[in-house]
Amino acid sequence: MIRLIDAGLTYRNMVGSLRGINLYIAKQDFLFIVGPTGGGKSSILKLIYRDVIATEGSVFVFNKDVAKLRSREIPYFRRRIGVIFQDFLLISTKTSWENVAFALQVQGIGIRQQRAIVPEVLEMVGLLGKFERKPDELSGGEMQRLCIARAIAGKPSLLIADEPTGNLDPDTSEGIMELLTRINMRGTTVLVATHDEKMVDRFRRRVVRIEHGRIISDAQSGTYNE
């Protein structure tokens, strides 16, 4: 599904820059990307969903060279990818239902389909009973679950999560990771960039460690420091 071939990315301040990244991610894989702040974790994710373009090497997603996508192709490409952002980016004036429905509307999905899809995904993340609540009426864990609902509403082939448990307590973090695992078991490829050592060690999935812009290890059923 995803191939990075000698991929590099250079920022002026060098923080998050990448060099010589070679990475293959198969369909339905579940992958943790770990490493220190500024090491390049988020930059790899941005290359994959084409928020930035590699300054060297190649990035292929869904068998497409993302650097060669035309402007009109990018929205359709991104519809196949759900992204869970570190700082939620929920719409504060909209209810839980409306936040998910709006994500579907942007994808061109009609109201009738929205009415079928929204309750399904809210139930999956455990928020159907809170569909009328706005983000400031939800706990941190509930807001993260709403972000996940929004990201999976369009049934993406790939789900990307950038520090999904960064501001959550251990019990809530475990619940979020269990939810991502269930989504993966339904056939979605899941990539998680994280500093959450305990969750990585608890779930024992594939772990790619990146430091100073380079991959230094790639282990199946790995641990945070392996």
**Residue 138 in domain:** yes
Q: pLDDT band at 12, cuts 50/70/90?
A: confident
pLDDT in tens, 38-82: 899 999 999 999 999 999 999 999 999 999 999 999 999 999 999
What is the pLDDT at residue 14? 76
Residue 15: pLDDT over 90: no
Whether the pLDDT of residue 201 is over 80: the answer is yes
Write down the pLDDT at residue 87.
80
Any domain includes 202: no
CA 60 to chain centre: 17
Tell me, yes or no, whether 226 lies in a domain: no
Whether 175 contacts 193, CB under 8 Å: no
**Stretch 6-35: mean pLDDT:** 92
Distance CA 104, CA 79 (A): 10
H/E segment holding residue 45: helix 41-48
| 113 within some domain | yes
**The total number of structural domains that make up the chain:** 1
On whether residue 208 sits in a domain, the answer given is no
Domain, as residue range, for 135:
91-155
> Distance between alpha carbon 94 and the CA centroid of its chain, in Å?
22
Of the pLDDT bands very low, low, confident and very high (cuts 50, 70, 90), residue 226 is confident
What is the rounded CA–CA span in Å between residue 204 and residue 31? 10
E strand or H helix at 113: helix 111-124
Supply the pLDDT for residue 119.
97
pLDDT(35) > 90: yes
User: pLDDT above 70 covers what percent of the chain?
Assistant: 100
The H or E element that residue 117 is part of is helix 111-124
pLDDT, tens digit, 9 for 90 and up, residues 150-198: 999 999 999 999 999 888 888 899 999 999 999 999 999 999 999 999 9
Question: What is the tens place of the pLDDT at every residue in 135-146?
Answer: 999 999 999 999
For the full predicted model, state whether its pTM sits above 0.85.
Answer: yes
Model pLDDT for residues 94-137, shown as the tens digit of each residue: 999 999 999 999 999 999 999 999 999 999 999 999 999 999 99
* 35 and 41 Cβ atoms separated by less than 8 Å: yes
Any domain includes 130: yes
**What confidence score (pLDDT) does residue 55 get?**
95
Let me know if residue 111 belongs to a domain.
Answer: yes
- Which of 226 and 85 is assigned the larger pLDDT? 85
Instruction: Give a yes or no: residue 211 inside a domain.
Output: no
